[in-house]
Amino acid sequence: MTYATEYRRSIDDPHAFWADAAQAIDWETPPQQILDASDPAFRKWFVGGRTNLCYNAVDRHLAARGDQRALIAVSTETDTTDEWTYRQLYQAVNTFAATLQCLGVVEGDRVVIYMPNTGEAVIAMLACARIGAIHSVVFGGFAAHNLALRIDDARPSLLICADAGMRSGKVIRYKPLVDAALAEAQFPPPRVLVVHRGLDADMPVTEGRDFDYAEVSKAFVHADVAVVWRESNEPSYLLYTSGTTGKPKGVQRDTGGYAVALALSMRTVYDVGPGQVMFSTSDVGWVVGHSYIVYGPLMVGAATIVYEGLPTSPDPGIWWKLCEQYGVRTMFSSPTAVRVLKKQDPSWLTKYDLSAFKWLFLAGEPLDEPTAAWITGALGRPVIDNYWQTETGWPVLSLQAGMDLHPVKLGSPGLPNLGYQLKLINETSGELCADNEKGVLTIVPPLPPGCLSTVWGDDQRFLSSYFGHFKELLYSSLDWAIRDPDGYYFILGRTDDVINVAGHRLGTREIEESVSTCFEVAEAAVIGAADELKGQVPVVFATLKQSGGSAEDRKVVANAMLKQVMEQLGAVARPARVYVVDALPKTRSGKLLRRSLQALVESRDPGDLSTLDDPNALESVRSALLRGPDVG
């Protein structure tokens, strides 16, 4: 089985290809029709088939591997580790599911989950899936207003939260945020279920509305809750992503298509199977957490690690220590995390026995060549970039570690994944792009299984947001890309992160890539700042591998960045100003807050900073703006 053969079959004969793939999961009722593409934007996969995500992730493994480790929850914040075998996970999920039913949750209800990276968060998600409820996990760090927006859109019958989380040793009280969100929301759920971690002794309680999970669940410790089978195209969960209107979009995921896509990708992309271990360093509140902490690994009978903590605490070797301890085969992280580790002593990468470790996958943002080259050399293992979105649910572009692995090209997430027919479209003409010509990355419908089925409650927004950009019916990723003659794609950044400099359109990602090739640079962010003469000009913010240094040292490095950009991209891309800062503002998921940077440069309100990972980063930027640029 080769990638070329299977990819061609997935495009030329999708019915046969996906009929074969569907055999990897268990169905209560087999699909009656593999694909209904009569309305291509709203395609339906495995029509009439009835299945359940929880059953496929837990129940079906009990006979063969009931005593095998399934879920490992490690918190370096609380210095605790909890482990569940498949049999123990089955009972924990049933207890939680019975508790949900006791509180009135029924099939089709929405349940908002607002929790940190804990085993209980995973169990809550599986419990919702078991009884046919639609979970909507909100990243456990969003401010009350952001939570309220998602509550009002989903209109849940129940909200599940922890009393608190921890970050960098600091307790983050969740319940007061929940109370504030419910006070603001127009459609607050009538009940709140609180999982106590013992972190907030003064947690406020609203009588009649708030329930203690430990108390309510006592009656259900031996519960055996029947699986609610869902038709393949019924929603399994909602996951909100930012919208250009300011109102978040509720990405609606189906059930059967998602299960089939994850089962396939675990085998072909990530090369993980029964009894093996996968460690995804994401948060359960993001799509990687849904797909490759929770459902994907468990679906194939692997063990999965959910981690609460920093990559550098208690020391920069913590992730590799866990890889040694649990025999991790495949690790999934982000370029931002690797750039954090890049600043540390490289000896941490060789301190632990990584003989079981085979693959490192990185995604979430474009992987720059210097970072890719560094981690590949330091780790001595294949490092595979992959590209996808909240909307797609699984990779659009990747190399196939579980098939015939094609050569890695630094800076490229690789080739189209199975089932994805891609086109690069010239934004102006609407025509196909030639090799090495920049265009908008699009997917030819019908979208493969696992991708979003619509925007929750708003089919028209689904069409206008994703299928309304070209005359031809195409899903627009809203990402710039180029394709080389070998068919490899290179992501250049968002189409809505374009700088128009005196009529010249420049992708911020291209400039960041150029700046990052300077040896001294650890990380860079480029924004377009308003300019009276040119409309916009590029402004660079960069951190260095070795912090500190005099003003003269900063100036030397800043000039090197300037020179690099001009040499690689031409004078039109010359940054107007370069600032060397101690840290860049990022969310706790590692996303750079470029729009907040732009607002600060233009003396505007930087917006909601409730998910800021390090408040000192913002002060570092403000201080740099006050002292003036190091070049410019």
Q: What is the DSSP letter of 406?
A: P
Q: Are 480 and 507 in contact (CB under 8 A)?
A: yes
pLDDT tens-place string over residues 424-462: 999 889 999 999 999 999 999 999 999 999 999 999 999
Helical axes 14-21 vs 256-268, angle rounded to 10°: 80
**Which are the contacts of 206, defined by CB distance < 8 A and separation ≥ 6?**
179, 192
**Which are the contacts of 104, defined by CB distance < 8 A and separation ≥ 6?**
157, 158, 191
**Which are the contacts of 603, defined by CB distance < 8 A and separation ≥ 6?**
none
Q: What is the pLDDT of residue 193?
A: 98
Q: Are 379 and 360 in contact (CB under 8 A)?
A: yes
Q: Determine which helix (DSSP H) or strand (DSSP E) holds 338, and give its type and residue range.
A: helix 335-342
Q: What are phi and psi of 359, to 5 degrees?
A: -135, 140
Reported as half-sphere exposure (CB side, CA atoms, 13 A), residue 511 has a value of 32
Q: Using a CB cutoff of 8 Å and minimum separation of 24, what contacts does 547-553 make?
A: 547/582, 549/580, 551/630
Return the ∠ at Cα 589 (arms to 586 and 592), rounded to 5°: 30
Q: Are 242 and 390 in contact (CB under 8 A)?
A: no
Q: What is the pLDDT of residue 497?
A: 66
Residue 65, CA distances (Å) to 59, 61, 68, 186, 540 in order? 10, 6, 5, 46, 53
Q: Are 556 and 521 in contact (CB under 8 A)?
A: no
pLDDT tens-place string over residues 480-498: 999 999 999 999 877 766 6
**249-253 and 237-241 beta bridge pairing:** antiparallel
Query: How far apart, in whole angstroms, are the C-alpha atoms of residue 335 and residue 282?
Result: 12
Q: What is the pLDDT of residue 506?
A: 72
Instruction: Please give the distance of CA 525 from its chain centroid, rounded to a whole number.
Output: 20
Return the ∠ at Cα 28 (arms to 23 and 33), rounded to 5°: 60
Query: How far apart, in whole angstroms, are the C-alpha atoms of residue 10 and residue 19?
Result: 10
DSSP states along 23-66: GGS--SB--SEEEE-SSGGG-EEEET-EE-HHHHHTGGGHHHHT
**Segments making up each domain of the chain, as ranges:** 497-627
Query: How far apart, in whole angstroms, are the C-alpha atoms of residue 454 and residue 42?
Result: 7
**303-308 and 330-333 beta bridge pairing:** unpaired
Q: Which residues of 55-78 are buried (b: 16+ CB within 10 A; e: fewer)?
A: bbbbbbbeeebeeebbbbbbbbbb
Mean pLDDT by 10 residues, the chain (632 residues): 95 98 98 98 98 98 98 97 98 98 98 97 98 95 84 98 94 95 97 97 95 98 98 97 71 98 98 98 94 98 97 95 98 89 89 96 84 91 94 97 95 96 94 96 98 98 95 94 97 72 67 86 89 81 82 89 81 88 84 85 79 79 90 82
Q: What is the pLDDT of residue 144?
A: 84
Burial class, 121, CB count within 10 angstroms (exposed 0-12 / middle 13-18 / buried 19+): buried
Query: How far apart, in whole angstroms, are the C-alpha atoms of residue 428 and residue 444?
Result: 19
CA nearest neighbour of 89 among 114, 69, 74, 104: 69
SS3 22: helix
Helix, strand, coil percent values for the chain (each to nearest 5): 35, 25, 40
Q: Determine which helix (DSSP H) or strand (DSSP E) holds 167, and give its type and residue range.
A: strand 164-167
Residue 523 Rama label (left phi>0; alpha psi -120 to 50; beta): beta
DSSP states along 91-128: HHHHHHHHHHHHTT--TT-EEEEE--SSHHHHHHHHHH
The answer to whether domain 497-627 has CATH 3.40.50.150 is no
- In the structure encoding, which two tokens stand for residue 483, read together? 């394709």
Which residue, chain included where needed, has tokens 């040793």?
169
Strands laid side by side in the 303-308 sheet: 80-85, 69-75, 303-308, 277-280, 330-333, 359-362, 383-387, 397-398, 415-416
Reported as half-sphere exposure (CB side, CA atoms, 13 A), residue 601 has a value of 24
Q: What is the pLDDT of residue 64?
A: 97
DSSP states along 452-499: --EETT-HHHHHHHHS-SSSS--EEEEEEEEE-TTS-EEEEEETTSEE
